[in-house]
Amino acid sequence: MSKQSEKCIRLLHELSHKASSPSCFYPQGRLRSTRFYIHQLPQINSFFSAAARRLSAYCVLWGAAHEVVVLPQSAHFQGEEDYAIAFATPVDAKGITFVCQYTPYSAERDLAEDLEELGNPVFGQRETSMVVFDNVFVPWERVFHCGEYPYSGKLVTRFARTHRMTCGGTCKVGFMNQIIGAAKLIQEYKGLEKATHINEQLAEMVALRETSRACGLAAAYRGAEEPPGSGVFLPDELMGNVSKLNVCNAFWRVMALAGDIGGGLIVTLPSLKELKNPEVKDYLEEFYSFGSDEPTENIMKVTKLLQNWTAGLHGVGTWHGAGPVMAQKIMLQRVINYDHEKELVKRTLNLKEKKKERGKG
């Protein structure tokens, strides 16, 4: 085992006791075309030696993490050695700046008097930030890729295999659990348990969820130790990419079905603050009760949860998380081997090779 591998394994053991957030860094601009490569962009300065100087990355969940692990965003080529870097550093290291997103959900949270008003008070919204490294000192024992550009692509693809399995096959299963549960509650609040079209929609949502779960399970089950003897197991590359590709469309569909069941109220719902407003409280109690015995506050909270999931940031986040659809399609074209399928057809039809004529060839 190389010293670099030993260093990486020690770091993994250390990070296993901490919360860590992975980031893929890339300089902004025209990164890849037939004429442009990263090192040809004069406005970019991402040189790395013993310090991370002037590079940026995008990071999710950094606020709940002790460490940020930075990886290349793509394969690199000769002349791009300065961009072929990977390292780990504490999130509060000197020189790191987090430029946080700010969305309507952020603004709503700032104005909320009670977290219960926000629709998803336990898990909150998706939070992302741009991470800027400006002369951040990184100890050498925390650097596990530095200039070895032929291996950048392998780092990216290995990370992607795991992330696409978890982001595609399993993470969104949990999201869909909440969406399906909320849609079912709304059906019951409205007294529509026998509505055939809604029951069909709910069944379709469950089928999409279980298909996503199955893809994730298959990617893990078909995974293998790589390299052999390393103790590191990676998901199956084919099924990992299929997991993410499948969930992209499945999640949009689940969102659409939930939006149909929840109705326009999902995007026209007044603030839950109004339940404390004596001037309008009685109106809300009357018109948003659906004529049921369920407290109006509960109905509004469930509807607000559906707003959080279906009319928020999660659709585009799911599509682009772990790479957009085209990234999975490109990877699938690289790893698919059609020999098995071709051989099945040849045996089924008893196809024979063309015989060479005597005296030719």
Fold (CATH) for 3-147: Butyryl-CoA Dehydrogenase, subunit A; domain 2 (2.40.110)
Q: Which class for 219: exposed (0-12), middle (13-18), buried (19 or more C-beta within 10 A)?
A: buried
Q: What mean pLDDT is reported for the chain? A: 84
State the pLDDT confidence band at 39, using cuts at 50, 70 and 90: very low
Q: Which of these ranges, 52-61, 65-74, 135-144, 350-359, has the smallest mean pLDDT? A: 52-61
Q: Which residue did the predictor score with more confidence, 58 or 350?
A: 350
pLDDT at residue 41 in the model: 42
Which residues does residue 99 pair with via DSSP β-bridges, in sequence order? 130
Indicate if the pLDDT at residue 29 is higher than 60: no
Both tokens of residue 47?
A: 């040189």
Contact 22, 155 (CB under 8 A): no
Q: How many residues does the chain have?
A: 361
Which residues does residue 71 pair with via DSSP β-bridges, in sequence order? 24
Q: Which residue did the predictor score with more confidence, 23 or 250?
A: 250
Q: Which residue did the predictor score with more confidence, 315 or 208?
A: 208
How far is the CA of 137 from the CAs of 9, 20, 153, 177, in angstroms?
21, 18, 25, 43
pTM: 0.83
Q: Which of these ranges, 246-255, 276-285, 308-317, has the smallest mean pLDDT? A: 308-317
For residues 247 and 208, what is the distance between their CA atoms, to the nearest angstrom?
8
Both tokens of residue 62?
A: 């950094």
pLDDT at residue 57 in the model: 57
- Among candidate residues 238, 218, 61, the one with its CA nearest the CA of residue 161: 238
State the pLDDT confidence band at 43, using cuts at 50, 70 and 90: very low
pLDDT at residue 199 in the model: 98
For the stretch 123-149, pLDDT in tens is: 877 778 888 888 899 999 899 899 999
Segment 353-358 mean pLDDT:
80
For residues 259 and 269, what is the distance between their CA atoms, to the nearest angstrom?
13
* Coil/strand/helix, residue 229: coil
Residue with tokens 């809604």: 198
pLDDT at residue 261 in the model: 97
Segment 252-258 mean pLDDT:
97
CATH code, residues 157-342: 1.20.140.10
Amino acid type, 148: E
pLDDT at residue 351 in the model: 96
Which residues does residue 23 pair with via DSSP β-bridges, in sequence order? 59, 70
pLDDT at residue 130 in the model: 86
Q: Which residues have CB under 8 Å from 67's CB, separation 6+?
A: 15, 18, 19, 20, 21, 88, 89, 90, 91
Contact 47, 79 (CB under 8 A): no
Which residue ranges make up each domain of the chain?
A: 3-147, 157-342
Segment 316-345 mean pLDDT:
92
